[in-house]
Structure 1
Amino acid sequence: MIHEIDEALRRLLAPAVTGDVAFDAPTRDWAARRNAPTLNAYLYDIREDVARRERGAYAERDAGGAVTRRRQPPRWFRLSYLVTAWTSRPEDEHRLLAAAMALLLPHEVLAGDAVPESVRPIAASLPISVAVPPAESRSLADIWSALGGELKPSLDVVVTTPFPVTPVYEVAPPVTEAEIVVRGLDAAATEVRPRMIRRAGSRGGATGAGSDAATGATGA
């Protein structure tokens, strides 16, 4: 799923640059090897969007309405990218960043073909934010220090997406008939009356749980 979001961003950013859209960590060694104008979208943080978390499982049903299995709701995650421009001149880098902003800002969500196939059954669109101040627990200066490079102008781009793999619990087949045994108060004088219970719509003419079988037994 993460690599599919990478490709969605690549398609959005590609018209802004004649060179490449990269996803490498922008370290000094990487910068030294770069020999063409480049937009870099470095995935530096993955966090769950706990405000979207749902509790409890939901039921999946077949065409007849019977529960076939239960599934935990999807968990949503915020993928944070550090988008930077790399050329030989700062002025050209600023032009690249401006072009990237012009391509990203019109999109409040990723929709249509930009949504990865793996998450389309869950969400038809994915929220995207551009240049919104990061959480207080994240400092871009600290990120650059960890990368061993010098601080550069950058765009903080965040895509919020569900993770498509969720736990699934199989359920037993629905009960279609059962036998009820009725016993008297005196254990020595026990009366047994078989009675059949069928689910509504099952064969045999029963109209719902508690209906008598064709044997003629009427229950207790």
Structure 2
Amino acid sequence: MIHEVDEALRALIRAEVLDGTEVELVLDAPTREWAARRNAPTVNLYLYDIREDLQRRSRGRQNVYDEQGTVVARTLPPRYFKLSYLVSAWTQRPEDEHRLLSGLLGCFLRHTALPAAGLGPALAATGLPVPLGIALPPPEDRAFADVWSALGGELKPSLDLVVSAPTALAPVYPAGPPVEDGLDLRSSELPPPPAEPSPPPPAARRRNRG
């Protein structure tokens, strides 16, 4: 699932931002050593955090149907995981970096989800959208300056891209056979009805009246 998101992002950026230019697109960690070795204009997509998107978690179970529409199994709903990317541009001039960042920002603002045509087989099989968010405020437990510090580099203009990717990897529980319509009762299985009391003979009725 993660590698499919990587490829979908690369295809989207190449098609709408780089558009045949000589700018490289990599997934490397932008450490100080990496920056020193870089010798070409580059857009960097660094995956730095993976956590479950709890706001999208669903409860209960879902039915699994066969070709005849019969329930054959039950499974848990797909779960979403937030993949956070640090998106940065690297050139010789700040103006060129800002121009690349502007193009990247516009690209992600035009899409509320990854294009369905670019999804890999695992993501496409879920039949669900793959939402993305760009430049949102970071969680309280994380700051962008901390990310750059952990990489050993200096703070640099960047975009925070968050992709919520669904995954259907959950246990599957076989379902029992379907219940047939109607109810078949056998009289031999039912207890006999209680016997009604017999009426008294006529002489007894006359004595009672006398």
TM over 0.5: yes
Unpaired stretches in structure 2, ≥5 consecutive residues = 191-210
Mean Cα deviation higher: 145-154 or 25-34: 25-34
* Structure number having the greater strand percentage: 1
Which residue in 1 is equivalent to 2:73?
A: 69
In 2: Cα distance, 1:10 partner to 1:95 partner: 18
Which residue in 2 is equivalent to 1:60?
A: 64
Answer 1 or 2: higher relative contact order, Cα 8 Å, separation at least 6.
Answer: 2
Cα distance change on mapping 1:62 and 1:218 into 2, 3 Å: farther
Cα distance change on mapping 1:53 and 1:94 into 2, 3 Å: same
Deviations 1:66-121 (A, max 9, x none): 43111111111111110000112222111111121222221112232133321223
Q: Residue 109 of structure 1 aligns to which amino acid in structure 2?
A: A
In 2: Cα distance, 1:109 partner to 1:77 partner: 14
Q: Is the 8 A contact 1:111 1:124 kept in 2?
A: no
In 2: Cα distance, 1:132 partner to 1:153 partner: 14
In 1: Cα distance, 2:82 partner to 2:131 partner: 9
Which residue in 2 is equivalent to 1:29?
A: 33
Residue among 171, 183, 197 paired with 1:167 = 171
Q: Quote how far apart the aligned CAs of 1:13 are.
A: 1.5
Q: Is the 8 A contact 1:115 1:124 kept in 2?
A: no
Moved over 6 A (4+): none
Q: Residue 59 of structure 2 aligns to which amino acid in structure 1?
A: R
Residue among 66, 78, 82 paired with 2:82 = 78
Q: Tell whether 2:8 aligns with 1:20.
A: no
In 2: Cα distance, 1:145 partner to 1:211 partner: 76
Which residue in 1 is equivalent to 2:184?
A: 210
In 1: Cα distance, 2:9 partner to 2:56 partner: 23
Which residue in 1 is equivalent to 2:152?
A: 148
Mean Cα deviation higher: 140-149 or 114-123: 114-123
Cα distance change on mapping 1:27 and 1:210 into 2, 3 Å: same
In 2: Cα distance, 1:61 partner to 1:5 partner: 28
Mean Cα deviation higher: 24-33 or 122-131: 122-131
Give the secondary structure class of the aligned counterpart of 1:125. coil
In 2: Cα distance, 1:152 partner to 1:175 partner: 61
Q: Residue 94 of structure 2 aligns to which amino acid in structure 1?
A: P
Residue among 51, 55, 72 paired with 1:51 = 55
In 2: Cα distance, 1:169 partner to 1:105 partner: 40
In 1: Cα distance, 2:5 partner to 2:81 partner: 12
Q: Is the 8 A contact 1:71 1:168 kept in 2?
A: yes
Which residue in 2 is equivalent to 1:11?
A: 11
**Structure 1 length as normaliser, TM-score?**
0.77
Q: Percent identity?
A: 51
Q: How many residues align?
A: 186
Q: Is the 8 A contact 2:77 2:168 kept in 1?
A: no
In 2: Cα distance, 1:139 partner to 1:25 partner: 17
Give the secondary structure class of the aligned counterpart of 2:184. coil
In 1: Cα distance, 2:67 partner to 2:109 partner: 43
Q: What is the aligned-residue RMSD (CA, Å)?
A: 2.0
Q: Is the 8 A contact 2:40 2:91 kept in 1?
A: yes
Unpaired stretches in structure 1, ≥5 consecutive residues = 177-198, 201-207
In 2: Cα distance, 1:124 partner to 1:66 partner: 22
